[in-house]
Amino acid sequence: MAQQPGAPVDVLKYRFAITLTDANNVIKGKAAISTRVLKPVKQVVFDLVGKNTSGKGMQVTTVTENGRPLKFNQDSSKLFINTAALQGSTHVYNITYQGIPADGLIISTSKYGKRTFFGDNWPTRAHNWLPCVDDPADKASVEFAVTAPAKYTVVANGLKVLDKALPGGRRFTLWKETVKLPTKVMVIGVAEFAVAQAGTPENIPVSSYVFPEDKDVGLKAYAVAAEILPWYTKRIGPFPYRKLANVQSKTIFGGMENAGAIFYFEESVRDKGIEALMAHEIAHQWFGDAVSEKNWANLWLSEGLATYMTNLYLEGKYGVDSLNKRLIADRKVIFDFEKSYNAPVVDTAFKGPMMQLLNANAYQKGGWFLHMLRRRIGNKAFWTGIAAYYKQYSGGNANTNDLCYLMEKASGMKLSAFFNQWLRQAGHPILNVKWEYLPQNRQVVIHVNQMQVKPYQLNLEIMVDGKLYRADIKDVATNFTFPALHDKPVVKIDPNINLLATYNLEGGDTGK
């Protein structure tokens, strides 16, 4: 089961019947929500944005169970169904509603002036147009039954099981996803599309949906998805869903990892970074969608993993230099972000707007942590742990401790202190490194001082005259001695870009 801790009701399945029209922006909805009651309740509550003074929002007209009307009331963000339910009982609540979405379902026009409808639910915007439990911890299967003008193509999560013409120039399309999803990745996309299949890697149909005006450039750009998907399946585990659609859309994000139906920003079809963007969003299908974070403080388990999986994919395809370039760029972003907001990656104290969680801690620092973890435990143990994490929590939820436990199991190493100092502690190591050459011994003495408030336990790579040494550091001040090949030795700190730290390197003096 996947739901919020202490929640009285677990949603098992949603069925949303949505009617769209070109006459206006009003959507008509019929939701059937299948639930299991976890503890006795006198009232069942779902998230749903009510109609506001501007006329936007959803107004519920009826709620029934087994054809029997139920009493209900709404406020600005909730639907209250006034019915008692016993622990262990199951219920299907049928909710009829309509309105103009204030958010969540974005009804607008493409850059070509054509009308479009796109779900855009992250983080908790689904309840602007869908009655639901709008939290990543409550996962359920979903069906979308969409009635829309016949000129539109409908794409959604899952497999398309019905697509038929209706009288009056309309079309009915039914999509079903049996895998349990969080609401943040449940969507429909409705527009005029050119559609083509990019391939069927691992027997998964990978399709591209682009605006007809962008057909040639778009289908070519999105085709790389058929290379990315099998790279991940070989290392992480089977693709979680039965199809992957990559969709040109009106999302407010660069890309949005909707399960099996990823939405990309409009100009993505011409973006030079499309391969990296697709690699990120496709990685999310495993991490964020199949394995969802238990709460928003653990968002790095979505964004950090997707960031690092992208880096690893690009390293695998283009070599280690591409990985190092991205790590260097990410390191700068992390340090710049710290200047304005210095907080741990697992940010349990965060109280701001949810969109501000999409920051350098969740993405770049989460990715950098995984890089240091891989270097610490080795490639084999890292991938063993990643695959075990996906296998154990696919279809459910996990937190940072869950990943730590499985990485410890895979590596045979104790890692909780390593996880804590990098993920639950703000800031980063600031290292002042001085070195001197001792001619009588033909040696280099290196003095490392940690300048930040609390010392880290870390592994620092030092290269002297082309030979790599690894130095374990745990104190504020540490000294190391290495042999030198020349009177003017060449000393490099972290030459392979493996430590998230700031360095100040001074040296070259000859010791007497």
DSSP states along 29-91: EEEEEEEEESS-BS-EEEE-PBP-TTS-EEEEEEEEETTEE--EEE-SSEEEE---B-TT-EE
**If you compute the radius of gyration of the chain from its CA atoms, what whole number of angstroms results?**
26
Q: What pLDDT does residue 512 have? A: 41
Both tokens of 120, joined, read 């855009």
Domains and CATH numbers, the chain: 1-190 (2.60.40.1730), 291-423 (1.10.390.10), 430-510 (2.60.40.1840)
What sign results for the dihedral spanned by CA atoms 174, 178, 183, 185? negative
Residues contacting residue 265 through CB under 8 Å, at least 6 positions apart: 249, 251, 253, 254, 255, 271
Q: Is 225 helix (H, G, I), strand (E, B) or coil?
A: helix
Both tokens of 69, joined, read 């009307």
What is this structure's pTM?
0.96
* 512 residues of the chain, pLDDT tens digit each: 555 677 899 999 999 999 999 999 999 999 999 999 999 999 999 999 999 999 999 999 999 999 999 999 999 999 999 999 999 999 999 999 999 999 999 999 999 999 999 999 999 999 999 999 999 999 999 999 999 999 999 999 999 999 999 999 999 999 999 999 999 999 999 999 999 999 999 999 999 999 999 999 999 999 999 999 999 999 999 999 999 999 999 999 999 999 999 999 999 999 999 999 999 999 999 999 999 999 999 999 999 999 999 999 999 999 999 999 999 999 999 999 999 999 999 999 998 899 999 999 999 999 999 999 999 999 999 999 999 999 999 999 999 999 999 999 999 999 999 999 999 999 999 999 999 999 999 999 999 999 999 999 999 999 999 999 999 999 999 999 999 998 899 999 999 999 999 999 887 654 44
Distance between first and last Cα of the chain: 69
Distance CA 206, CA 222 (A): 10
Both tokens of 207, joined, read 């399709």
**CA dist list (Å): 159 to 153, 174, 251, 260, 500:** 14, 8, 22, 9, 43
